[in-house]
């Protein structure tokens, strides 16, 4: 396996194909061919560990997640997919995905949490295997997924009970590695060279943000995932001629910029609660509230607790943080580039809703949504 391995949706799709092969009586193969980019015909061989028929119309297959040489908590995670036939369905509803143990669901609805890419990957590779007169049910289980999810920020985005399928591409994105920065810069240059280039960009921090942004009305063609290399990408954007740039990210991540931290990987720096407490003090909140913020376990918890006491103060604090993100980002740019750039910030919360905008962020949000 190359140093860039595959995301969790790929292993789920591989196990699903292996399970359906068993349903149809095809012999087990230690690898299945997957189209990893929906709409593109290239096929990649993905290994699977085992597959067997359980009974008439039911089969189980297993794959083992391999993200390559990168630090990733899904390394070695078993992926179990049980496949079974359904009665004839309408073509638009032929695939039913059931979250098993360790598969994260949206707390608000109980629905399986997966990205559009994950669903497209399943549909692309399974539809040719399912006849038009029947449907397919997949029950996906991640043994140990519930415990692993506690080490992620899933809960901050309203995802409970396990790991979410939020990958937006097949290859693992190396957000903390230098080649992730190189890849983002290359994509930026590609955008700039496009005939449709208008000098506008939305830098999105994290997979959750990349999945959420189109649902909130952000134009997909403006989105560029920054990974943790926010500072260098801001400079690259200015030097490339970007004129209007919006930073979009989870409030518990983007707040680091308000403290002057422009490489946001948690292995390098944190200080989020200290930044929030400092901003609360500068806002003039009572000492008891500032101390409660400093003692909270997360930015989300601190703002939620403050909101229960004083909703207006919590909203004002979130807006102040967004404004300071803009200010510190502008100062960072001024130190490293002489190119003018309108820069705004928009933050979202665990409810996957916009929680605050900086002054410029509010202007750019309206412009980009329009």
pLDDT in tens, 253-308: 899 999 998 877 655 667 899 999 999 999 999 999 999 999 998 898 999 999 99
Is 91 a residue whose pLDDT tops 70? no
Is 175 a residue whose pLDDT tops 90? no
Q: What percent of the chain has pLDDT over 70?
A: 93
Domains observed in the chain: 8-163 (3.30.2110.10), 178-369 (no CATH)
Distance of alpha carbon 338 from alpha carbon 312, whole angstroms: 38
Q: What pLDDT score was predicted for residue 218?
A: 93
87-96, 188-197, 202-211, 317-326: which has the minimum mean pLDDT?
Answer: 87-96
Evaluate whether 98 touches 106 at the Cβ level (below 8 Å).
no
First-residue to last-residue Cα distance in the chain: 44
Mean pLDDT of the chain, nearest integer: 89
Question: Which alpha helices (H) appear in 96-241, and where do they start and end?
Answer: 116-126, 145-149, 178-193, 207-212, 230-239
Distance of alpha carbon 283 from alpha carbon 275, whole angstroms: 12
Long-range contact list for 194-198, CB < 8 A, 24+ apart? 196/221
Is 172 a residue whose pLDDT tops 80? no
* Average pLDDT over every residue of 17-42: 92
Q: What percent of the chain has pLDDT over 90?
A: 64
Residue in the structure block whose two tokens are 């079974």: 84
Cβ within 8 Å of residue 24, ≥6 positions away = 129
Q: What pLDDT score was predicted for residue 266?
A: 59
Is 314 a residue whose pLDDT tops 80? yes
Helix axes 287-295, 272-283, angle to 10 degrees: 170
* Average pLDDT over every residue of 175-197: 79
Question: Residue 1: is it exposed, middle or buried by C-beta count within 10 angstroms (0-12/13-18/19+)?
Answer: exposed
35-39, 96-100, 151-155, 231-235: which has the minimum mean pLDDT?
Answer: 151-155
Q: What pLDDT score was predicted for residue 168?
A: 79
pLDDT range class, residue 2, cuts 50, 70, 90: very low
Distance of alpha carbon 369 from alpha carbon 293, whole angstroms: 33
CA distances from 314 to 152, 228, 317 (A): 25, 27, 5
Q: What pLDDT score was predicted for residue 3?
A: 47
Q: How many other CB atoms are found less than 10 A from the CB of residue 130?
A: 20
pLDDT range class, residue 178, cuts 50, 70, 90: low
Q: Of the ranges 71-80, 144-153, 235-244, which is most confident? A: 235-244
Evaluate whether 80 touches 15 at the Cβ level (below 8 Å).
yes
Evaluate whether 165 touches 207 at the Cβ level (below 8 Å).
no
**What sign for the dihedral angle of Cα 62, 64, 67, 72?**
positive
């Amino acid at each position: 396996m190359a140093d860039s391995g595959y995301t969790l949706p790929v292993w789920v799709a591989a196990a699903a194909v292996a399970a359906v092969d068993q349903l149809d009586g095809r012999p087990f193969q230690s690898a299945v061919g997957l189209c990893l980019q929906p709409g593109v015909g290239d096929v990649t061989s993905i290994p699977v560990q085992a597959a067997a028929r359980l009974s008439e119309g039911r089969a189980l297959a297993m794959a083992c997640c391999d993200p390559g040489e990168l630090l990733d908590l899904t390394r070695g995670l078993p992926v179990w997919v049980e496949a079974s036939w359904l009665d004839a369905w309408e073509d638009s509803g032929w695939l039913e995905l059931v979250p098993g143990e360790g598969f994260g669901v949206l707390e608000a609805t109980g629905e399986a949490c997966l990205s559009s890419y994950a669903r497209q990957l399943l549909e692309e590779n399974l539809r040719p295997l399912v006849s038009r007169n029947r449907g397919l049910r997949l029950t996906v289980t991640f043994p140990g997924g519930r415990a692993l999810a506690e080490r992620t920020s899933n809960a901050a985005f309203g995802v409970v009970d396990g790991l979410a399928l939020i990958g937006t591409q097949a290859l693992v994105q190396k957000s903390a590695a230098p080649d992730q920065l190189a890849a983002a810069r290359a994509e930026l240059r590609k955008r700039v060279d496009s005939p449709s280039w208008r000098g506008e960009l939305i830098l999105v921090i994290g997979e959750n943000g990349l999945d959420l942004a189109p649902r909130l009305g952000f134009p997909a063609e403006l989105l560029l995932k920054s990974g943790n290399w926010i500072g260098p990408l801001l400079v690259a954007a200015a030097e490339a001629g970007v004129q209007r740039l919006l930073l979009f990210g989870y409030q518990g991540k983007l707040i680091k910029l308000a403290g002057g931290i422009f490489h946001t990987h948690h292995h390098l720096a944190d200080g989020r609660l200290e930044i929030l407490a400092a901003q609360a003090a500068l806002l003039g909140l009572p000492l008891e509230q500032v101390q409660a913020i400093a003692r909270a376990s997360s930015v989300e918890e601190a703002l939620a607790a403050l909101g229960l006491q004083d909703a207006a103060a919590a909203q004002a604090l979130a807006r102040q943080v967004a404004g300071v993100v803009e200010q510190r980002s502008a100062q960072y740019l001024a130190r490293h580039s002489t190119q003018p750039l309108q820069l705004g910030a928009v933050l979202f919360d665990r409810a996957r809703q916009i929680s605050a905008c900086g002054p410029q962020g509010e202007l750019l949000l309206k412009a980009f949504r329009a």
